[in-house]
Structure 1
């Protein structure tokens, strides 16, 4: 098995970008999900309800965040000194405001009031203790530092979706883009689809990870990452084949055991 691709999302719920190599920190990939968008009341905004966020492409130029979108020139973001507390999936997290210029840029993109906030100290947010050790931390990802998916599982899901379409007399679907699932690391060469469900520990390159739990999926994978159009797949088919505990599942969540660097093409070993 090998590491097929690496993906970073500097701003939560926006479009990510691929990396040839990445530094692994205790709370996730360096620079991953350290920013998020909030409304005028300080409540978190995500692409689940605001798909237009996926039209924002953030990248890091050194330590500076650069936002690119279809509505305005690119913006270099400079955090200010103002702070506020934001609820991130039941965690109260103190974040730094990124200023009026970033707020105006995002408000124009979303056609509603919005501001950008930055997690200046990534040690503030603990991982759910039901699946973690004391001291485990996560940035602004939903729950865990990294998400792993495999190409074998995506191909099986594509086959199932094609079967569903044939049963319903629908046109053959286009294979899914893995970007729908927003993974950090994608593994190729897994012999058995969904074999990752049983993994407990995995090594990528020279960095070891614990597999905390499977990833239950929200509505976001049903939104086309290019057109931003909503649809029924893959949730419709996952509900037939990968539904338990009232949820649908794809991918597994990882917690790093150490710092290190991973690179595209690195060997992947189940420990």
Structure 2
């Protein structure tokens, strides 16, 4: 097996960045989900509420995060944290410390996205000194992991063969195939059987430089229905409905990919083309 895609999503629910190489940190790939959009009371906002968030393109320059949207001048946000208002924000049930990126970012989001049911949007950065633990009941005894603004885990691993199988099922319904971008993974593996990743306990290169623990199947939501370039929903309910139909689990819902934590290799670099092997659960 080998890595065929790497991607980060610096701002939760905005556009992703495809990479050839990525550095591993305890919180996931470097710069992944380090920023987030929140409403007036600090609740996280995603494509679940505003599908148009997908249409905002994101790039990283040596010293800045850059957001781009048609009709709005690009927004530049310094990568280095500075003296900023500190506030409490929520991601699902987790309360996190964050730094407000200020009025310029709020005005830019208003121009690009408008508001959310009367609430203004603001851009926040994960506070560098804050730790957000991963839910412990999915970890092995003695394990501990943390993440930034991802839904719950620092890394998401997916398989090209699983996507091929999903698209085969969609084709049987005379529906168009969907790209891997619908699932917003960090690491995509090719060379495995469809959904083989659901049976993996760990993943790493043959030289042992790093090792990931795959700890929880990723239950998918309506974001899978959003075109990640246009922010539109071409076929309401799909491919989520088909994933639910394919679900072999007792728990209801559609699943695609595996949430993962870093077991070893902080600071190591992953590259597209790296040969990897998995150990079974």
TM-score > 0.5, shorter chain as reference: yes
**Does the 8 Å CA contact 1:83/1:97 hold for their aligned counterparts?**
yes
Determine if the alignment matches structure 1 residue 83 to structure 2 residue 86.
yes
Matched, 1:270 2:278: yes
Which residue in the other structure is 2:33 paired with? 33
Residue of structure 1 in register with 2:263 after alignment: 257
How many angstroms does 1:229 deviate by?
2.3
CA distance in structure 1 between the partners assigned to 2:157 and 2:58 by the alignment? 21
TM superposition score normalised by structure 1: 0.92
Structure 1 stretch displaced more, 82-91 or 204-213: 204-213
- Residues 33-182 of structure 1: pairs in structure 2 closer than 5 A: 33-78=33-78, 80-112=83-115, 113-121=120-128, 123-132=130-139, 133-163=142-172, 165=173, 172-182=174-184
Look up the SS of the partner of 2:146 in the other structure.
coil
Q: In 1, distance between residues paired with 2:130 and 2:21?
A: 23
In structure 2, which of residues 232, 236, 244 is the aligned counterpart of residue 229 of structure 1?
232
State the alpha-carbon separation in 1 of the partners of residues 176 and 18 from structure 2.
Answer: 22
Out of 119-128 and 136-145, give the one that drifted further: 119-128
CA shift, 1:123, in A, is 4.7
CA contact (8 A) 1:204 1:262 kept: no
Alpha-carbon offset, residue 176 of structure 1: 0.9
The separation in 1 between residues aligned to 2:227 and 2:70, in whole angstroms, is: 17
Q: Shift of residue 122 of structure 1?
A: 6.4
- Measured after TM superposition, the shift of residue 120 of structure 1 is 2.9
Measured in 1, the distance between the counterparts of 2:103 and 2:58 equals 17
Whether the 8 Å CA contact 2:97–2:130 is kept in 1: the answer is no
TM-score, normalised by the number of residues in structure 2 = 0.89
Q: C-alpha separation between the residues in 2 aligned to 1:56 and 1:64?
A: 16
Q: Contact 1:243–1:249 (CA<8 Å) still a contact in 2?
A: no
For 2:63 and 2:129, how far apart are their aligned partners in 1?
A: 15
Q: 1:65 to 1:268 in 2, by over 3 A?
A: same
Q: Distance in 1 between matches of 2:239 and 2:129?
A: 32
CA distance in 1, matches of 2:248, 2:55: 30
Q: Distance in 2 between matches of 1:243 and 1:219?
A: 20
Q: Does 1:238 align with 2:243?
A: yes
Could you report, residue by residue, the CA deviation over 1:7-52 in whole angstroms, capped at 9, with x for unpaired residues?
0000001110100000010110000000000112222111111011
The reply to whether residue 23 of structure 1 matches residue 32 of structure 2 is: no
Number of corresponding residues: 263
Gaps of at least 5 residues in structure 1 are 166-171
Contact 1:84 1:94 in 2 (8 A): yes
Say whether the 8 Å CA contact 1:161–1:173 is kept in structure 2: yes
